[in-house]
Structures are given as structure tokens and as C-alpha cells.
Amino acid sequence: MPLLKNGKIAQDEWTFAEDGAGLVDGPTIVSPARFMSEHEALLASNRPVGVRLTNADEPDQLAPWLDRLSLIELAFPKYTDGRAFSQAQLLRRRYGFKGEVRATGQILRDQLRLMIRSGFDAIVFDDADAEAVYEISSRELSEFYQPAADTSASIFLKRHGKA
Amino acid sequence: MYRYDEFDETLVRERAKQFRGQVERRLKGELKEEHFKPLRLQNGVYLQLHAYMLRVAIPYGQLNAKQLRVLATIADTYDKGYGHFTTRQNIQYNWIKLADMPEVLDRLADVEMHAIQTSGNCIRNVTSDHLAGANLDEIEDPRPWCEIIRQWSTFHPEFSSLPRKFKIAVTAAETDRAAVRIHDIGLHMKRNAEGKIGFQFIVGGGLGRTPYIGVTVREWIAKEDLLSYLEANMRVYNRHGRRDNKYKARIKILVNELGLEEYTRQVEEEFAAQNSWEKIILPQEEIDRIGAYFAPPKFEALSATSAAFDAFKAGGREQARWAKNNLRPHRVPGYISVHIALKPQGVAPGDATSDQMRVMADIGEQYALDDIRVAHEQDIVYPHVKLDDVPAVYAALKAAALHASNAGMGSDIIACPGLDYCNLANARSISVANEVQAVFADKEFEDEVGTLHVNVSGCINACGHHHVGHIGILGVDKKGEEFYQILFGGRADEKAMIGTIQGPGLRHEEVAPAIRRVIGKYLEMRAARTEKFIDTMTRVGQAPFKDALYASA
């Protein structure tokens, strides 16, 4: 399935290592449980490390290591389940996470803009024309009332030249 | 009223265009109904029993004449010549073709209207007191805050796929006409000990299968913190609200499963953790800018009494009755608020024909400072009418058969569309409402009974708010036959209560006679003519009324 990184198709360099399975070379994603028990070895191994959170996981458990993590993967198990929007906002705004925040699961083109605003910069998006669709969907609305995790200023501020 | 600036205008136009694209993809088959569903729902489009239904937002129930005329034109051009005003101050059309929806949205956008977030699992249209800016007892106009919440919640990226729908209501009057205690979040504007105006923050009210009266999470939150505090509540709900069962997914279930104390702790923790990037900064200039749109209109300096109005009241029983039941006091001398009860006998409550809409628009423009409101009782209200103009307003309403004099009375029934229109319903609502209305056909009898709220829902989803009717009627299906459960003692005001189911359901034809017996019991038991039905019931308890309900005729 195509991976869009900032809207462009990108090679997925990452491998998910199941709990208990051996580690392969290169960028590696693990579960939060594995990360919590093996973080010293993982972070010392010089490979980029990522964590796959489920919707029930608290992002704040990763807070002490976020500046050394390269990726957090969040899931949309159903396109109507919006918990990962909150997790992404927390990672970006509360904890200032600078690495990749990746969305996987059921994703509709019409939700891409919401994901971008919530702080996702990588989206696994199943569409034959993924780049073009992303380009259109991300530009359908040009103004935003509320601040979010992207750089767009709120209309509340723009109206008064405060953005 | 609020007027769009370039930002509001751009967004509504872009949204209409976006939805046009979604409809085209659906009609071409590129989008499956399963995927189209959450998209159309966020724009007020339901697939109903007979056709698609479109729900158009009327933010906090306020319209001008130009907008109401467009609503009439839409009813004529794309529907069957009528619309249905809802208990959430919106309007619904039941017969619009999907292919026509984009054009309808363009027409709405021409008059600063839309259908954004009128359905779906997102923050819905904000509702408020239909007498805002006119009534005697509000401490401030709540509408600027409704508009601020409307804007903040529009296309909110984090809260667009909530566990379930989310309804917010705001009032600023002691008498709660907006039923804020039966909303997911109810905001009751209050002064704190220092005299500063803020919000009592009430969470977890709601009707449906599991009715709850909302609980107070904060006695008072400052205006500058309102949006950030709302975000804290929404985030706790979005993250922890149940998603395993749609009937347990509303915030009221989360609040009750966690308990008020733990829910409050989580919200306060989230609120306290917000950093400066996360706080929503609402510049004072912006509060002032939005507030200015709701500045009081230029009222004339008038005498508190009007000879024309006095003559009108003395001019016959029918109009005296209308004046007694359909008018509400106004804060400015010489003015009054006028209710049009959209519940005359024989039609669905809340329905208005396009001709009636045009008449209501004309009257609003000519006599009511172009300010027209939809009340949650499914009435249309003119908040600002000169006493001197009441005779002319009445004459114009009468000419359009809009002069029903039953506002707030037994026949002024709130009812959902029921089995006739809705694919969730188990039973008919409109026909049973009509039969109960017939109990009050004798207007002298109805006046004798006085204030009485009867609410009818055709299923447990409770769109007719049967839990908060003084008398609630709930249609259920038992082995293919319609039965109606009766509830007593509900109310939606500042003393909000959930009504109590009395016992086994009644057959359709048994409902009206049973209600008649209950009314008879009230007339027999009331302490004085001035003691309302609900007050007598509160004083003596429900048992005698239950006996009357089930006594065979």
C-alpha cells in the first residue's frame, strides 16, 4: 500500500518487529510493551526506532524518550474511529514530538486534511492515485477556525492580524 | 444577527463544493454507500424510509426574512412544498433527491446558510434560548458564545469522528428555555462570587435509551477559558468514550461509568496540562467583533402600554386567548415576543408549508425587526414586536392559518416524525399526537387545563423528548403492534427531571382517552386554578394520576 510522506509517495524503510521476534537491520517499529522493556538496547543500537501505539495506549508513557524516537505509528481501525486524532495532537502539541507520525488503517480521502491538521505527516493511503488525491483533498478547505497541530493560523487570530 | 465575513463565506462555499464532489463520486459509483455514509452524515444528509433527508442548520435558531424565503423556495423547488422545523432549531426536508443536494447547498450558501455538522458523530449545531436578547431574565445575550462555539467546532480536526453525536446548548437566563441539562454539554451563563459572568459547565445530559440529566463539572468557568475547557472535555470523551456499542457511546454513559468525580478529575488534569500552543486564544477584539452583531436593535422609546393592543385583547375571545397564550414579556417597554405555534391540529408538529414560511418571513421583515427564531418547542418566534403592531401581526398570521392560540398548552405537542417518515421509528407519532390534540379541541377546556407539555416519540431514540414532557408518550413495537408507554413528571427547564414510566403500554386508540382521564384527575386535585399540572403532580405524587391512566373508561 502506498505510503505518503508529506503528500509524496515514499519508500517505506520501516519494519515492525513482533514482541519476542529477533530484530532485523534498519529502522524498526516495536510495540510500546517491547519498547518499555528494551528501550535501552533499542536506542543504543544506532538504528532509527519507532513505536506502534494502539488507540488505547497513552502517548505520555513515551514522553521521556520522544526526542530519541523517529516514528510513532497510530491506527484508524475504522474510518469512524477518531481516537488517533487526539493521540497525534497530544504527541505534536503536548509533547512536541518532531519525528514522523504515521497513520495506518481505514482512511478515506476526505479525512486526509483532518489528519494533516492533527499532526500526521505520513499516511498509508490505499488509492491508485494517492498523490493526486492527497493534493486535492488537502486543499479543499483553505481556512480554519481553530488552531491545531499544523502551522495554519486560526481565523480567530487572522481576523485581527495576530497570525 | 451574525453576518459572514470573507472567512466564513469561503469556508461554506468550499464545503459546498467539496460535498458536490462527494455526491458526484457516489452517483458515479466510485464511492460505496458504506464510505459515503459518514461523509453525507457530516453534512446533514440521511437516507430515510422513502428518500434522502436534508437537515439544514439554523445556528441557535435565528433566521432573517431573506433566509426563510430561501428555505421556502427550496421546499418548493426540491421538496414537496413544506419543511419540518425540529426540536434542535433546525429545518429538515424529507424528499430531496441526492443529485439535487449540491444545488440546494449552493442556494443556502447564497444566504449564509449550510448543513455542516447537522448529523454524524461530530459537534452538532449549537442551540440556545429562542428569546435571547428579548427576555426579562438573562444576564447577557448568549448568542455571541453560541456563534463562537459554532465557529470553533466547525471542521474541528480532532473531533470529527467522535464515539457519537455531540450536542451543546447555551442559555443565559435563569429560566432555562434551551433545555441545557439534557444536552451533552449544557452551558448556563452565571455570575461568580465576584460578579463576573462565565459559564456553569454541565455535562452528560441526554435522552434516548438511557436518559440522564446533566451534572455540573464546574460551577463556573471564565469566558477566556471556555474553548480550552471545551477541548479538554471533548478530548477525554474522544479518547475514552465507548465505541463498542453505539447505544452506550454518548458522553452521558462515560460520565456515569466513570462517576462525576473521576470524569471531572480527568478533564481538570487535561485542562491543566494544556500548554500555550494548545490553549485556544480568542482575542478580545474577536469577542467584541462577534458580540457587536448581537447588539440590541434600535428599539423605539414607547409607552409600556398600548391602546391598540388593549383594544385587540378586548376584541373577541379567540384573539384574547391568543394574546394570553402566545405572547411573552419583553425587556423593552412597548415590545413583546410572539410565538407561532406550528402545531395546529391535523398536521405534523413543526411542519410549515412554503407559503406559510413566506408569510412568516414577510411579517418578520415588516413588524419584527427582521429577527425570526425557531424554538426547540418547534414554534416560530418573533422576539421583538411592538405592542402597537400585535393586531396587524395577528391578522397576517390568521390569514395564513398560523394563529393557533395554543403555545405552551396541552395541544402544543412536541413530536418526532415517527413511523410515517423515519426508518428508526417503531410506532406512529403524528397520529397519536393528533388524537391527544383532539382532547383539547374545546379551547375553553384547554384554557381551564392551562400550561401542559405533552411530548411524543415514536421510538426509544426519543427525538420527541418524551422523557421531559409533563406527560410523555413513547411508541414501542410489540409483536408487530404499536403500543404507547406513558411517562409522568418530566421537565426540560432549570428543574429538569426525567419522567417515570407508569406501566404497561396502551394501544393507539387507548392513549387519548387515558390522557383525558389524567387531565380530569388534575382538575379534580389541583389546589387552585393557578396551580399548573406539573406542580400538582409534584405536590401530590404520581400515584393518583397512574390510577386514572389505567382506570377503564
Query: What ipTM is given for this predicted complex?
Result: 0.97
Q: Is residue A149 part of a domain?
A: yes
CB-based contact (8 Å) between A79 and chain B? yes
CA distance B129 to chain A (A): 24
CA atoms within a 13 Å half-sphere pointing along the CA-CB vector of B372: 27
Nearest to B118 by CA among B41, B184, B171: B41
| Mutation site for A-interface testing, chosen from B5, B150, B151, B161 by largest number of A Cβ within 10 Å | B161
Q: CATH top-level class for B307-399?
A: alpha beta
Domain-located, residue A163:
no
Provide the number of structural domains found in chain A: 1
- pLDDT tens track for B231-250: 999 999 999 999 999 999 99
Within 8 A by CB and 6+ apart from A128, the residues are none
Residue A151, chain B, CB below 8 Å: the answer is: no
The answer to whether B272 faces chain A, any CB pair under 8 Å, is no
Alpha-carbon distances, residue B525 vs B90, B532, B545 (angstroms)? 39, 11, 10
Q: What is the pLDDT of residue B349?
A: 81
Task: For residue A148, give how far its alpha carbon lies from the nearest alpha carbon of chain B (Å).
Answer: 7
Closest CA to B308 of B394, B387, B399, B397: B387
Which residues of B are less than 8 Å from A154 in CB distance? Answer: 280-281
Do B6-110 and B307-399 show the same overall fold?
yes
Q: Which of A79, A86, A157 sits opposite B281 (nearest CB)?
A: A157
B6-110 classified as CATH 3.30.230.70:
no
Q: Cβ–Cβ of B275/A93 closer than 8 Å?
A: yes
CB contact under 8 A, B285 and A160: yes
CA dihedral A88, A94, A98, A100 (to 10 degrees): -10
Q: Is A63 in CB contact (< 8 Å) with chain B?
A: no
Cβ–Cβ pairs < 8 A, chains A and B: 111
Q: Which residues in chain A touch residue B18, judged by CB atoms under 8 angstroms apart?
A: 110, 140-141
Give me the sign of the Cα torsion angle A59, A63, A69, A70: positive
Q: Which of A81, A86, A143 has the CB atom closest to B10's CB atom?
A: A143
Nearest to B350 by CA among B418, B301, B279, B281: B418
CA distance B310 to B376: 30
Could you tell me what percent of chain B has a pLDDT over 90?
A: 88
Contact residues, chain B, for A127 at CB < 8 Å: none
- Residue ranges covered by each domain of chain B: 6-110, 127-292, 307-399, 414-550
Query: pLDDT tens digit string along B311-353?
Result: 999 999 999 999 999 999 999 999 999 999 987 666 778 999 9
The answer to whether the beta carbons of residues B522 and B533 sit under 8 Å apart is yes
**With contact defined as beta carbons under 8 Å apart, do A137 and B11 qualify?**
no
User: Residue B138's beta-bridge partner residues?
Assistant: B173
- CB–CB of B366/B382 below 8 Å? no
Q: What is the pLDDT of residues B151-192, one digit of tens each?
A: 999 999 999 999 999 999 999 999 999 999 999 999 999 999
- Give pLDDT tens digits for B141-158: 999 999 999 999 999 999
Cα–Cα distance, B454 to B361 (Å, whole number): 28
| Contact at CB, B157 and A117, closer than 8 angstroms | yes
CA B68 to chain centre: 17
Write down the pLDDT at residue B345.
Answer: 66
Sign of CA dihedral B493, B496, B498, B502: negative
CA distance B432 to A163: 56
How much is the mean pLDDT over chain B? 95
Nearest Cα residue to A88 out of A103, A107, A108, A78: A103
The superfamily in CATH containing domain B127-292 is Sulfite Reductase Hemoprotein, domain 1 (3.30.413.10)
For A:105-144, CB contacts with B below 8 A are: 108, 110-111, 113-115, 117-118, 140-144
CB-based contact (8 Å) between A58 and chain B? no
What residue has cell string 474577536? B286
Structure confidence at residue B424 as a pLDDT band (50, 70, 90): confident
The angle at the Cα of B475, spanning B471 to B476, to the nearest 5 degrees, equals 135
Paired with B386 in beta bridges are: B335
Instruction: Give the C-alpha separation, B179 to B171, whole Å.
Output: 9
Burial of B196 (0-12, 13-18, 19+ CB in 10 A): exposed
What is the 8-class DSSP label of residue A94? I
The C-alpha atoms of residue B445 and residue B424 are separated, in whole angstroms, by 35
List the grid coordinates of B150: 459554532
B24 in contact with A at a CB cutoff of 8 Å? no
Distance CA A154, CA B3 (A): 18
> What's the rounded mean pLDDT across residues B118-130?
95
Residue B484 is predicted with a pLDDT of: 97
At B344 the pLDDT is 65
What's residue B192's pLDDT? Answer: 97
Give the model confidence (pLDDT) of B38-70 as tens digits.
888 888 898 876 778 999 999 999 999 999 999
Are A145 and B151 a contacting pair at CB < 8 A? yes
**For residue range B212-221, what is the model confidence (pLDDT) as tens digits?**
999 999 999 9
Residue with cell 455540573: B216
Q: Could you give the dihedral angle defined by the CA atoms of residues B418, B422, B423 and B426, in that order, rounded to the nearest 10 degrees?
A: 0
Higher pLDDT, B101 or B51: B101
Task: Measure in Å the smallest separation between the Cα of B443 and chain A Cα atoms.
Answer: 50
CATH of the domain at A14: 3.20.20.70
Q: Measuring CA to CA, how many Å separate B205 from each of B16, B220, B269, B516?
A: 32, 18, 22, 31
Q: What's the pLDDT score for residue A24?
A: 86
- For residue A55, count CB atoms less than 10 angstroms from its CB and return exposed for 0-12, middle for 13-18, buried for 19 or more: middle
Q: Write out the three cell numbers for B154.
A: 466547525
CA distances from B244 to A82, B97, B205, B240, B248 (A): 13, 33, 20, 11, 8
Closest CA to A20 of A12, A31, A6, A8: A31
B176 three-state secondary structure: coil
- Comparing CB atoms, the residue among B14, B227, B243 nearest residue A142 is B14
Task: Tell me whether residues B35 and A114 touch, CB distance under 8 A.
Answer: no
Query: Is the CB of residue A57 less than 8 Å from the CB of residue A32?
Result: yes
- The shortest CB-CB distance from B39 to any of A110, A117, A155 is to A110
**Inter-chain CB proximity B278 and A93 less than 8 Å:** yes
pLDDT at residue B553 greater than cutoff 70: no
The contacts of residue B522 (CB under 8 Å, 6+ apart) are B449, B533, B536, B537, B545
Whether A91 maps to a domain, the answer reads yes
The three cell numbers locating residue B86: 425540529
Whether A138 shows a pLDDT value over 80: the answer reads yes
pLDDT at A95 over 70: yes
Mean pLDDT on B193-216:
96
| pLDDT given at position B126 | 96
Residue A120 forms part of a structural domain: yes
CB atoms within 10 A of CB B23: 22
Residues of B with Cβ-Cβ distance to A108 under 8 angstroms: 35, 38-39
Using a CB–CB cutoff of 8 Å, tell me whether B12 touches chain A.
no
pLDDT at residue A1, rounded to an integer: 83
- pLDDT, residue B377, reads 87
Beta bridge mates, B187? B170, B201
* Interchain CB contact of A16 with B (< 8 Å): no
CATH topology of domain B414-550: Sulfite Reductase Hemoprotein; domain 1 (3.30.413)
Q: In what order do the strands lie in the sheet containing B327-329?
A: B62-63, B372-374, B380-386, B335-340, B327-329
Q: Across the strands, what pairs with B198? A: B190, B222
Q: Cβ of A158 under 8 Å from any chain B Cβ?
A: yes
Q: What is the pLDDT of residue B177?
A: 95
Contact yes or no for B505/B517 (Cβ under 8 A) = no
Domain span at residue A7 reads 3-158
Residue B212 neighbours by CB under 8 Å, 6+ apart? B204, B205, B206, B252, B255, B256, B498
